[in-house]
Amino acid sequence: MTAAGLADEGLTRRLKALACTAPLHDLDARKAKLDWADATIYQMAEIALHTIDQVTIAMDFDTGAGHDEVIDRLLPFIAVQAPSRMPDEHVRVAKWVLDNLINVGTTDRGFRRVYGSLGPGGYQRRQFDFKLLVELAAPDGEVYLRATDEAINVLVGALDTDVESAQIAAEVKLENLINRGRLADAKLAAEQARYRTVQYGETLRAKLDATRRDVRAVDWEDEVPELIESALGHIESRFRAENAILKNITTARDESEDADHKRRAAELVDIVADCIRRHTRLQSRLADAGAVFRAEQDRQQFSGPPQRATLDLFGQLLMPTLDLALADAVAPAEHFFHAVAGIAPPVVPSLSSLVSLLLRPAPERDQLIGEIPEPELVPAEVSDRFGDDVWRLADELLDLPEVPRRLSGLLADARRSGQPGLPSLVALRALYAYSPEVGAARRQGERQVLLAVDDGTLLDDPDFGGADLLLYTAQVERADDETEEVA
């Protein structure tokens, strides 16, 4: 049982990792169906990976990447894939990929995969929800993008690794590679190291966010100083390592004769310099966090015992309710709202206030609802090929309740009437009746339906070809299951 359980867990993890890549494959699968361009020329999964790349690189403590910024950075990459296409189309492809990675259009803006797991309850289907890019609001109200842990894991290809040890490994690898002059590999390792740095910063950012909200009952004796100290120690060691690497490659860059080597070394310098910049920012955050802690503690330290029995809203109401199943949580959530919402006096119109209401200038718009653009309406073009009287004549001709008639005979009658277009309409309707929509006719309560049967006779006609169909109007019976009687 234990062994089976372990194997199952590994399977689940791999299934989840696999699921994270599904949206990328999905892009390539769907690209042929886009109606605004022949998008098969683009490698969508590549563009998507590149998008996640760009967002990850642009992420730092406060903000992530703006939508427009990401699209701008994507354009050169897309343009290389299809140089012959217009720049407008490139922009559109970039937006399409970005929207699909966010999964715009779903309420949760995420992805869901169902996977099976074997547990004590037998085989159960479970859902795995994940996101690749998320949108968050910056303090100034702008919306920006961040890559999720899942996305970074998909990108770096290292699931379930310890952040810190992976970072050390990458640094060592980087130094070795530089010493041996393998700059291409060194660049890769440096980029991976940067992703690790970002990932590490992400974890700390979440921590600091909690810290800022957190106020009471923080363990100032051990926990917080330990946290800050270990983070600072981490930064210090990274600083030393990265500065050493920076010195090495700067020398490599300046001394290298090979232009390609020089360029790669220069790129590496940029990447490592960026890592150092990130560490500096992280460090200043940590320094601030201490001050926030002290200020909050001063502010909130003095609290007497409760003066009367009240509930602990967070611990006794919010947490238990959050932990309930959705079906169970409805009652407390609804009752709390009902009680906290207060009262709404019914609105009674009074003439004097109605007049002033009507004379009032239009109110400011709600900030959540955008301005609705005024559509420019063009009167619809008359698209009816056949006029009303032609239809009426065709109706008369095709009303055949008694005996079935051949299409050739009907066409002859239609020509005789001299009405232009009537033969074409009769022929078209006869053709349509070859596959009569009996079900639809029954649903819509039609009394009769025109049927056409091909008995193998060829139509001998100057304008139309095909079979000389036998046409008959069948009654639709609506009372019982025998829906129609066919001629």
As measured in angstroms, the least distance from the Cβ of 116 to another protein is: 9
3-state secondary structure of 459: coil
Cβ neighbors of 54 (< 8 A, separation 6 or more) are: 65, 70, 73, 74
Strands 111-119, 133-137: pairing is unpaired
Which residue's CB is nearer to another protein, number 333 or number 458?
333
Which residue's CB is nearer to another protein, number 12 or number 419?
12
As measured in angstroms, the least distance from the Cβ of 66 to another protein is: 9
Amino acid code (one letter) for 292: V
Nearest-CA neighbor of 50 among 28, 76, 32? 76
As measured in angstroms, the least distance from the Cβ of 474 to another protein is: 40
User: 473 phi and psi, to 5 degrees?
Assistant: -95, 115
As measured in angstroms, the least distance from the Cβ of 215 to another protein is: 7
Which residue's CB is nearer to another protein, number 266 or number 329?
329
Which residue's CB is nearer to another protein, number 316 or number 457?
316
Report how far apart the first and last C-alpha atoms of the chain are (Å, whole number): 68
CA angle 214, 148, 25 (to 5 degrees): 165
Which residue's CB is nearer to another protein, number 76 or number 233?
233
Beta partners for 122?
119
Amino acid code (one letter) for 120: P
As measured in angstroms, the least distance from the Cβ of 228 to another protein is: 10
Which residue's CB is nearer to another protein, number 141 or number 157?
141
Which residue's CB is nearer to another protein, number 77 or number 115?
115
Cβ neighbors of 375 (< 8 A, separation 6 or more) are: none
As measured in angstroms, the least distance from the Cβ of 134 to another protein is: 6
As measured in angstroms, the least distance from the Cβ of 198 to another protein is: 15
Which residue's CB is nearer to another protein, number 367 or number 444?
367
As measured in angstroms, the least distance from the Cβ of 98 to another protein is: 11
The long-range contacts involving 470-473, CB below 8 angstroms and separated by at least 24 positions, are: 470/404, 470/405, 470/406, 470/407, 471/398, 471/400, 471/404, 471/405, 471/406, 471/407, 471/410, 471/430, 471/433, 472/400, 472/403, 472/404, 472/405, 473/398, 473/399, 473/400, 473/401, 473/448, 473/449
As measured in angstroms, the least distance from the Cβ of 130 to another protein is: 9
Which residue's CB is nearer to another protein, number 345 or number 445?
345
State which H helix or E strand residue 176 sits in. Answer: helix 163-179
As measured in angstroms, the least distance from the Cβ of 199 to another protein is: 11
Burial label, 34 (beta-carbon count in 10 A; 0-12, 13-18, 19+): middle
Beta partners for 471?
405, 452
Which residue's CB is nearer to another protein, number 107 or number 383?
107
As measured in angstroms, the least distance from the Cβ of 445 to another protein is: 29
CA angle 222, 225, 228 (to 5 degrees): 140
Nearest-CA neighbor of 292 among 212, 409, 368, 374? 212
Cβ pair 28, 43 in contact under 8 A? yes
As measured in angstroms, the least distance from the Cβ of 188 to another protein is: 26
Beta partners for 123?
118
Which residue's CB is nearer to another protein, number 251 or number 353?
353
CA 308 to chain centre: 49
Which residue's CB is nearer to another protein, number 211 or number 248?
211
